[in-house]
Chain A
Amino acid sequence: MAAGRSRIPATKHPIERFTLDNGLRVVLAPDRSAPVVGVAVVYDVGIRSEPEGRTGFAHLFEHLMFQGSENLEKLAHFRHIQGAGGTFNGSTHLDYTDYWETLPSNALERALFLEADRMRGPRLTEENLRNQVDVVKEEIRVNVLNRPYGGFPWLRLPPVMFDTFANAHDGYGSFDDLESASIADATDFFDRYYACGNAVLAVGGDLDVAEATALIERHFGDVPARPAPERPDFAEPDLTGERRQTYTDRLAPLPAVAAAWRVPDPIGDFAGYLPYVVLAEVLTDGDASRLVERLVLRDRSVTSVGGYLGLMGDPFDVRDPTALVLQAHLPPGGEVEKVLQTVDEELDRLATDGLAADELARTQARMATHLLRETDAVLGRTLQMAVLEQQRGDPGLLGELPRLVGEVTEEQVRAAAATLRPQRRAAVEVVPGGGVR
């Protein structure tokens, strides 16, 4: 180990895995350092699986999963979780949808009951559907339509980068599609994708493995067995020429740009993928990173720059195809073309000259801190393990990540940088509509 290099520490949370007779996969990660538990259920369906004409449906359906179930009236789910001192939420991603609660550990059985009840079936009513379409429209207004840079770049890049409906469409959905959604659509969606064979349950925190196993058997054991649907292949060929799109954001006061390049399959070629995760940090993590130093501090051609893996910023919970994304906000009158050229130049320099002494090691040390920090929260840990189990059958990978990131070599980072060529790039430029209001 080179002098001056921080030892990358590891944390080990013991993990138990098993599968119930009905096909539900279970991950337990006990840790009794605080009297709280995290419960996560993830279903292997997300934005990419939405039917054409039903953009935004996976997310709308996520809302419907909170509207009552076999033994629970509308509002009961929220009240039972919060009345036990817990918090809850759900979120819809490209490849999965998660539901979670985190509670004082005396409420573990209650959380299992609630998740099992909706796994058997949500109460799908016309009234609740209409109500949640309204709520989702307000969500889209607040996050996209009524603010500058709404949906930039996560909703703006996919249609430039991809050609198939699955990868390219707006995951929040059009108002037309949302309003056309019916109870029949919801029933079909549940029948097809919300099978217990298509789900993973993870429980982490203050639990006893034998007790938790018995509780899980009791509540989930009689959820009817339904197999997972076959997952379609969402693969698309890489770009062969640059794609660029420009749009005017009537609310945005300043220009912005995002660029994305396809990266290796995060699941099928994890070893090939990991150097890109490190590369994004070498480029953008803090003042000592390549692009911050050059673009922000030296050239002053951008006011901020960020880089990450995954269109939703999800390096370890997304499948192929996915991307490395860079995004930057520019000062008034800033030239996007110049910024992209400088990025190319810096990538070239990295690929040709390699990294400075210590540059890789310090970036890896910082990444270890970020990774460890995320796993300190029982919920963060539990959710990540659920997704790793679902997509890789390997929840223990979570504890290995700081070490694996630390083993990426300079040669691998250089090689990764060399692939980020302009002709493989998809870029989106925001033209300010001048609306400083």
Chain B
Amino acid sequence: MTVRTLPPLGPNRKLKLPREVEQTLPNGLTVIVLRRPAVPLVELRLWLPFGRAHLARGLMMSQTLLSGTATMTSVQLAAELQKVGGGLSAGADADRLMISGTGLSTGLNRILELLAEVLTGASYPNDEVATERSRLIDGIRMAQSQPTHLVRKALLKRMYGRHPYAVQTPEPEQVEAVRPAALRSLHAARVRPAGAILLLVGDVQPDKALDAVQRALGDWTGDGAPGELPPTPPLEAGPLLLMDRPGSVQSSVRLALPAVPRTHPDHAALQLANLVFGGYFSSRWVENIREDKGYTYGPHSTIEHSVAGSALVVSAEVATEVTGPALLETIYELGRLASLPPKEDELEQARQYALGTLQLGISTQAGLAAVASAYAGSGLRLEFLAEHAARLAKVTRDDVAVAAAKYLAPARAVTVALGDAGAVEAPLAVLGPVRTEAAGP
């Protein structure tokens, strides 16, 4: 066997940001166009502020927005979109209503016309609303049978208490009560250009695309509704909440920790601290509980940014019989980084990963659209990516140590586990107080 050595990296490639053109129309709609002509397609994202919208009605509205207008049925809308290789879909969460689509770039004008048709004329026909109501209820029932959904639901409740983020999925009976008239009023109140952001990414000429938007959506009018959310409350650590799911062959373990928004001075250091801890495969925690101990398949740790606050969420599905030991290692790795600075090579590796994945993330039209719309929803523009890269480049070991002590301390964690309480309650109780509740809808 010949000993071979790892080749060095070539010089770093410069971060290339696409040309960005932005304009706010007289009706208050902000339009951002990013040109990436790699394939002859265009990605569309319309971000509408949706804070404080009624949960069940908001979700139902996202399911029925494309169900018909005064002049078109849902089937006609879908067929017309298909003709230009297009499609639209809508989704809602506690922050925003998002309409997303993709199509052939030659069909941009038509897609915008159909978007305008929906924005100004969605009619929420009774029959279609009834159909979608049943589908949504079935969808919620399906979600409620998924362990990942149930543990998420319990975690949000523990994290957010009385904040609107605490409950993000309505109960079936709440959906049952939603009538078309309520959807029409919600649409009238909230589907408004003021404060909304339309993003177009792809093989388009920015000036022409702006003109096309102006033509199609210039007549869409109305003021936005006040929907500002209060900041999220601080996390309150307490006993581990164990949701009993008898017969579970795995436990779903979640820890929530405090985090900061993208623009906060601690953010870059926190991002790197999270990577060193468990935010990517080559992290201490993943190497420990997967590659050394085989407790789990896909553990991950992510900083989640929402408009009203950010949080760091640690997630793993672990075998029932090692639930206690898996939590022990998790607390150990959090505590180790919160107590001692990382090694230089660990920091460098995490830094390179953070910088490289920024490049990878914007290397497709869809990726660029995802990043740019997430940024736009927090009031940022793509140029922030370059600023963030510059901050990542400067973070020191001490910065990571300070951020880890502040945000990753296990003493601050809100912990929830979903699993077979009969098997895991006692092993978990060894590590700290446990409160057990029945899981289920």
Contacts and interface: CB of A to CB of B under 8 A. Distances in A.
Interface stretch (A188-196, A225-233, A369-377): A369-377
Given A78-B281, A83-B348, A285-B82, A146 B294 contact: no
B422 to A, nearest CB: 14
Contact of A110 (B9, B82, B104): B9
Contact of B349 (A7, A83, A361): A83
Interface string B409-425: 00000000000000000
Nearest to B87: A286
- Which of A33, A102, A286 has the most CB atoms of chain B within a 10 A radius of its CB? A286
Nearest to B139: A303
Contacts of A146: 147, 248-250, 317
For chain B, give the interface size range: 35 or more
Contact of B142 (A4, A254, A362): A254
B290 A147 contact: no
Contacts of A241: none
B360 interface: yes
B13 A206 contact: yes
A312 interface: no
Contact of A138 (B1, B77, B297): B297
A154 interface: no
Contact of B85 (A75, A136, A287, A366): A366
B6 A377 contact: no
A113 interface: yes
A251 interface: yes
B291 to A, nearest CB: 6
A254 B66 CA distance: 26
A424 interface: no
A137 interface: yes
A79 interface: yes
B292 A131 contact: yes
Given A78-B282, A83-B348, A293 B75 contact: yes
Given A33-B38, A113-B7, A373-B102, A139 B297 contact: yes
Nearest to B146: A147
Contact of A109 (B10, B356, B366): B10
A137 to B, nearest CB: 7
A287 B78 contact: yes
A6 B144 contact: no
A321 B287 CA distance: 39
B107 A6 contact: yes
A338 interface: no
B176 to A, nearest CB: 13
Contact of B41 (A134, A147, A303, A376): A376
Given A75-B291, A297-B75, A6 B83 contact: yes
A242 B314 CA distance: 47
A437 B245 contact: yes
Interface in B347-370: 348-349, 352-357, 359-360, 362-367
A286 B78 contact: yes
B353 A11 contact: no
A388 to B, nearest CB: 18
Interface in A1-52: 4-7, 9, 11, 31, 33-36
A366 B317 contact: no
A113 B83 contact: no
A254 B143 CA distance: 11
B16 interface: yes
Interface stretch (B130-138, B156-164, B224-232, B396-404): B130-138
Contact of B135 (A110, A131, A133, A303): A303
Nearest to A146: B250
Interface in A262-306: 285-288, 293, 296-297, 300, 303-304
Interface string B76-90: 111101111111000
A332 interface: yes
Given A146-B250, A287-B78, A377 B145 contact: no
A253 B319 CA distance: 24
The 4 closest A-B pairs by CB, nearest first: A85-B356, A134-B294, A35-B13, A106-B10
7 contacts: A84-B352, A85-B352, A104-B13, A113-B4, A138-B317, A147-B145, A303-B134
Interface of B: 1, 3-7, 9-14, 16, 36-41, 66, 74-79, 81-87, 102-104, 106-107, 128, 131, 134-135, 138-139, 141-142, 144-148, 150, 245-250, 280-282, 287, 290-298, 317-319, 348-349, 352-357, 359-360, 362-367, 439-441
Given A287-B74, A297-B131, A300-B134, 20 more contacts: A6-B84, A6-B106, A31-B38, A33-B37, A36-B363, A75-B287, A85-B352, A87-B360, A108-B10, A110-B7, A110-B9, A131-B293, A136-B297, A138-B317, A145-B249, A253-B141, A288-B82, A303-B139, A361-B83, A365-B85
